[in-house]
Each structure stands twice: as C-alpha cells, then as structure tokens.
Amino acid sequence: MTVFSPDLREKAEAIKAKYPDPRSAMLPLLYVAQSVEGYVSRDGMQEIADILDVKTTQVEAVATFYTMFHMQPTGEHVIAVCTNLSCMLRGAYEIYDAAKEALGEGAEHMTADGKFTLHEEECLGACDAAPLVQVDAANHDRVSKERMLEIIEQLRKGEVPTPSRGEAPRDWKHAAQINAGLGDGA
C-alpha cells in the first residue's frame, strides 16, 4: 500500500528542507509513517528510503533502534506504564498488572478488538507524578488502580481521558503526527 499520500509526500519535502542534511528527516518521516499505520511497516520504510535516497536497510536500522517506533501493528491506543525505580516504589507494577488483567489476552501485543497495546515503559521524566501512565504519550499522574481501570473504560467508550497537563492526542496515530512535527490539527 501507499503510506505517503501525495499530500504527505509534499509535507515530507518540507520536513527535509528544515535540515542542512535531508537525512536528518529520518526520525520525523518514521513518525509520519507511524501516523498513517500506527506502526512502521515495510512499505513505509521503502517509501522513506525513496524519499531520502538511502537504502531500505538503512531506514530499518534506524526504525528498529528506537522504542517509540513500533514494528508491528499496534492498538488504536498505546498505554505505557512506567515501572522504573521512582514509579516502582510507588506501586507501578500493581498498576501494570491491573491494566494487563483488564485488557486481557494479548494486550502486550494488541488486544483482539484492535483497540489497545500495553507495555512497560522506562523513566518518562515525570517522577514527581509516580506512578505515571502514558496514554498515547499523554501523561496521567499518580494513577491508582481504580483510575487505571477508569481510563481503560473511557477509551473503550471512545472518550479521550483528560491528561494531567496540556492536551491529549485522539489516539496513537495522532501522537505520531504531532511527533512528526506536523502539529495537532486534523
């Protein structure tokens, strides 16, 4: 399939132009691909290789290095529970286990309904808010078990849970669009 529509091809050129060396657009373009598919597919990598005039293996080498690029299909929402020291001391593993149980079989890859991907996360730089949970990279501070379950329920109903500060993206693809530097507009 075509990952980069003509419009996205145009945007990709604008991203390249921001840098003295177009190869610097690699990470932003991987985010563009992820904003379309929710993950980085082989097609996406081939198109990025074409746009940057590098080999597909060079794109793959980069994509597989960074944990925020998913190499397999993800759920509509990605829930990340920080379990690093400060969060662990404040009960993060219990939050993680609660989320895992609520989401059921396969959540660490993708739930059967295609709605969720759950994973443990390393320090997210908000240790004062431990235990910290990110929903599509939006922060939820001091999450209790009850709040974790409530967040999952809200997402199931199609609502975007209100983050602790700032705004939240609609879903995981929207988060990738923002990280591509394309802003949060429709």
Partner 1 sequence: MSFEPVLTARWGLEDSASIDVYLKTGGYEGLRKALSMEQDAVIEEVASSGLRGRGGAGFPTGQKWKFVDKSLNKPTYVVANLDESEPGTFNNRELIERDPHQFIEGLLVSAYAIKSHHTFIYCRGEFLWPALHLERAIEEARARGFVGKGVAGSDYDIEMTLHRGAGAYICGEETALLESLEGKRGQPRLRPPFPVTEGLYDCPTAINNVETLSNVPHIMVRGADWYKSLGTEKSPGPKMYSLSGKVEKPGNYEAEMGITARELIEGFGGGVLDGKKLKAWTPGGTSTPMLTAEHIDTPMDFDGVMAAGSMLGTGAMIILDERDCIVESTWRMLEFYARESCGKCTTCREGNWWTTRILRRIEDGYGSEEDIDLLNGIAGAQLFKGFCALVDGATSPSLSSIKYFRDEYQAHVKQKGCPMKPAVRRRDPQEVAP
Question: Which one, 23 or 113, has the nearer CB to partner 1?
Answer: 23
**Interface pick for partner 1 out of 2, 57, 67, 144 (rule CB under 8 A):** 67
Could you tell me the smallest distance in angstroms from the CB atom of residue 81 to partner 1? 13
Backbone angles phi, psi at 123, to 5 degrees: -45, 125
Choose the binding region for partner 1 from 1-9, 100-108, 110-118, 136-144 (rule: CB under 8 A): 136-144
Helix/strand/coil for 133: strand
Q: Is 71 in the site for partner 1 (CB under 8 A)?
A: no
Q: Taking the mean position of all CA atoms in its chain, how far away is CA 133? A: 13
Q: Does 41 bind partner 1 (CB under 8 A)?
A: no
Among 9, 90, 100, 145, binds partner 1 (CB under 8 A): 90
Q: Which amino acid is at 151?
A: I
Work out how close the CB of 25 gets to partner 1 at its nearest, in angstroms, rounded to a whole number.
7
Determine if 31 is a binding residue for partner 1 (CB under 8 A).
yes
* Phi-psi region at 120: left, alpha or beta (left = phi > 0; alpha = psi -120 to 50): beta
Instruction: Name the strand (E) or helix (H) holding 186.
Output: none
- Tokens linked to 51: 């746009």
Is residue 108 within the footprint of partner 1 (CB under 8 A)?
no
Among 5, 24, 57, 162, binds partner 1 (CB under 8 A): 24
- Map tokens 């082989």 to a residue: 42
CB 176 within 8 A of CB 34: yes
Minimum distance from residue 44 beta carbon to partner 1 (Å): 14
Backbone angle region of 153, left / alpha / beta, with phi > 0 → left and psi within -120 to 50 → alpha: alpha
Structural tokens at position 118: 């759950």
What distance in Å separates the CA atoms of residue 130 and residue 60, rounded to the nearest whole number? 34
Residue 49 beta carbon to partner 1: minimum distance, rounded to whole angstroms: 12
Q: Is 122 in the site for partner 1 (CB under 8 A)?
A: yes
Name the site residues for partner 1 (rule: CB under 8 A).
18-21, 23-28, 30-31, 52, 61-62, 65-69, 83-86, 88-90, 121-130, 134, 136-139, 163, 165-169, 175, 178-181, 183-184
